[in-house]
């Protein structure tokens, strides 16, 4: 069991991330937060623990998803009851992905790069690039745009273009003294040019001006390309979470 101070830190980062990448609909039930966004992204269509003594009634917690014709996805953080992986595995569920929540202190040394445009709302060029390279399926485009609009301000949509073509992009969402970093994308033809560093550090500088003193992110643990960059920038892992899916 994690110490109380550690769980308080996890709880705060979880709440920040819920707001930083908001679901279209959320419902709290028996110690869990159920998030719904028409099937667009696991993160916003998942079952998330809010407390260690949350219910372990799997069928009741999955019922709202099954009623919508959605496959339930469990996102197990350190806040989840310790028995949950065992209960899900016994039902044939698979642990499909492990991700890390990392945080770093911001400072005045991060600078905005002139090639990085940061706008308070996604421009048409940003939307088109995100849909093409994230990628976003046509049936999810409206949901995606509604979710971006629901991010609380201040928010920054970063984009690098070259001769009218998108090269790299990311989202920053400031909430109090933290900035959430989401969806860092570098297009295949633009990789190995340092654009991920330039985009992210431009957002850190922008966030510093908005009053943020820390940045946090969620990164797949197997992302060998991104982890060295984040470590060099000062990010350290606070906790991990896993996704569990039922048999198809």
User: pLDDT for 90-106, tens place per residue?
Assistant: 999 999 999 999 999 99
CA separation for the pair 199, 219 (Å, rounded): 16
| Residue-level pLDDT at 191 | 86
CATH topology of domain 107-212: Aminopeptidase (3.40.630)
| Residue-level pLDDT at 153 | 86
Please list, in sequence order, all residues whose beta carbon lies within 8 angstroms of the beta carbon of residue 236, skipping any fewer than 6 positions away: 102, 103, 104
| Residue-level pLDDT at 227 | 97
Residue 189 confidence (pLDDT) above 90: no
SS3 (DSSP) at 144: helix
Pairing assessment for the beta strands 47-49 and 74-76 based on DSSP bridges:
parallel
| Residue-level pLDDT at 98 | 98
Closest listed residue to residue 206, CA positions, set 150, 155, 148, 133? 155
Residue pair 151/137 in contact by the 8 Å Cβ criterion: no
| Residue-level pLDDT at 202 | 98
Mean pLDDT of 69-79: 97
Domain residue ranges of the chain, discontinuous segments joined by +? 4-103, 107-212
Residue 190 confidence (pLDDT) above 90: no
Summarised one tens digit per residue, pLDDT across range 33-64 is: 999 999 999 999 999 999 999 999 999 999 99
Residue pair 117/129 in contact by the 8 Å Cβ criterion: no
Summarised one tens digit per residue, pLDDT across range 193-207 is: 899 999 999 999 999
The mean pLDDT value of the chain amounts to 95
Residue pair 200/181 in contact by the 8 Å Cβ criterion: yes
Residue 172 confidence (pLDDT) above 80: yes
Q: pTM for the complete prediction?
A: 0.94
Please confirm whether the linkage preceding 154 is cis (ω < 30° from 0). Answer: yes
Residue pair 222/242 in contact by the 8 Å Cβ criterion: no
Burial of 176 (0-12, 13-18, 19+ CB in 10 A): exposed
pLDDT band for 1, please (50, 70, 90 cuts): low
Mean pLDDT of 173-182: 98
E strand or H helix at 125: helix 124-133
Summarised one tens digit per residue, pLDDT across range 126-167 is: 999 999 999 999 999 999 999 999 998 899 999 999 998 999
């Amino acid at each position: 069991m994690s110490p109380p101070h550690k769980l308080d830190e996890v709880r705060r980062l979880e709440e920040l991330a819920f707001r930083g990448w908001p679901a279209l609909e959320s419902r709290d039930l028996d110690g869990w937060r159920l998030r719904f966004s028409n099937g667009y992204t696991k993160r916003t269509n998942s079952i998330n623990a809010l407390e260690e003594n949350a219910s372990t009634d799997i069928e009741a917690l999955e019922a709202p998803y099954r009623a919508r014709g959605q496959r339930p996805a469990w996102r197990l953080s350190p806040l989840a009851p310790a028995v949950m992986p065992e209960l899900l595995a016994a039902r044939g569920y698979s642990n499909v992905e492990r991700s890390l929540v990392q945080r770093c202190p911001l400072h005045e040394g991060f600078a905005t790069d002139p090639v990085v445009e940061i706008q308070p709302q996604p421009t048409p060029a940003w939307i088109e690039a995100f849909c093409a390279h994230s990628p976003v399926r046509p049936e999810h485009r409206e949901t995606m745009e509604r979710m971006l609009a629901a991010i609380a301000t201040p928010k920054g949509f970063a984009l690098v273009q070259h001769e009218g073509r998108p090269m790299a992009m990311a989202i920053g969402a400031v909430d109090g003294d933290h900035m959430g970093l989401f969806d860092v994308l570098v297009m295949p033809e633009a990789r190995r040019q340092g654009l991920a560093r330039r985009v992210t550090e431009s957002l850190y500088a922008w966030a510093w001006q908005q009053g943020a003193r820390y940045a946090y992110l969620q990164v797949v643990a197997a992302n060998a390309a991104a982890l060295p960059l984040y470590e060099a920038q000062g990010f350290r892992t606070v906790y991990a979470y896993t996704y569990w899916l039922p048999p198809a």
